[in-house]
Amino acid sequence: MKVIHVTDTHLVAAGKMLHGLDPLERLRLCFEDITAHHSDADLCVLTGDLTDTGQTDAYVLLKELLTTLPMPTSLMLGNHDHRQRFCDVFINTSRDSNGFVQWSQTTSEGVLLFLDTNEPGTDEGVYCEQRHEWLREQLAKYNDRPVYVFMHHPPFDIGIPDMDALRLRDCETFAQTLAGHNNIRHLFFGHVHRPISGQWQGISFSALHGTNHQVPLLLNKDPDNGVFAFCQEEPLYGVALIANGMTTVHLQPFLSRQPVYYERYE
């Protein structure tokens, strides 16, 4: 199974710039590269911050652009998104019984769980008791199958103070919910605008740059009063190859794709 991971697209109104960059044009180039090189992918997942301020017209732009992708897509919410405006545009989106944009999908390689960590009024991630209850049910239901989790906010510190101040709130409860489920194979997340991989309570994880602006690797910055550090490192998309319980995540810098050449080893 091949899953494309795109995150933090931060779309704004057509023609508008963000951080001096054009998010719509960059996402168009991203989708163009994915279509050219990975049209055989089973799924493309966008792990939140689809728009920068949750505007309806930005969701409409996204909906139009998604028609250029040849594979099915899964759209998730981030802290910059607006749940109701998103649902008004993507009227067929999956929601749980409480209205959160989270669902499960069974595949040949296991079950994909898409979690909703958006909470109006804060940039931190929130996973409330209602959402925990849904997750517990899903983990119990799919206890005998490999599970892959997708979410916007990381449920742990990554060592960058700016981002750690805005990670998932109440990580301990989330960690407890996942603890003991040895069938959780990998955790994909966005939010941090950086390529990161590692392991957390026995679960491998990966994140990547967004398609527009990025967060610099500043490990000692004070996360002071809303002043955040940004940079314009290369945007990426991820290509996850999942087979027989093994996950391999490749990262592709699509704006600087170089010509391939071949040489015979003598």
Judged by the rule CB under 5 A, the positions of this chain that interact with Fe ion are 8, 49
Q: Smallest gap, in angstroms, from Cβ of residue 49 to Fe ion?
A: 3
Nearer to Fe ion, 167 or 185 (CB): 167
The CA distance from 78 to 82, in Å, is 8
Nearer to Fe ion, 49 or 162 (CB): 49
- Contact, 248 vs 47, CB < 8 A? no
Tokens of 227: 């002043």
Nearer to Fe ion, 134 or 150 (CB): 150
- Contact, 88 vs 101, CB < 8 A? no
Who's near 225: CB < 8 A, 6+ residues apart?
none
Who's near 266: CB < 8 A, 6+ residues apart?
none
Q: Smallest gap, in angstroms, from Cβ of residue 190 to Fe ion?
A: 7
Nearer to Fe ion, 8 or 116 (CB): 8
Quickly tell me which residue has 């089973």 as its tokens. 42
Nearer to Fe ion, 200 or 228 (CB): 228
Render 231-265 in DSSP notation, one character per residue.
B-PPP-EEEEEEETTEEEEEEE-GGGPPPP-----
- Closest Cα to residue 178, out of 158, 153, 141, 149? 149
Q: Smallest gap, in angstroms, from Cβ of residue 193 to Fe ion?
A: 6
Q: Smallest gap, in angstroms, from Cβ of residue 208 to Fe ion?
A: 12
Nearer to Fe ion, 9 or 247 (CB): 9
Q: Smallest gap, in angstroms, from Cβ of residue 97 to Fe ion?
A: 28
Q: Smallest gap, in angstroms, from Cβ of residue 248 to Fe ion?
A: 25
Q: Smallest gap, in angstroms, from Cβ of residue 9 to Fe ion?
A: 9
Nearer to Fe ion, 8 or 119 (CB): 8
- Closest Cα to residue 118, out of 80, 156, 171? 80
Who's near 265: CB < 8 A, 6+ residues apart?
none
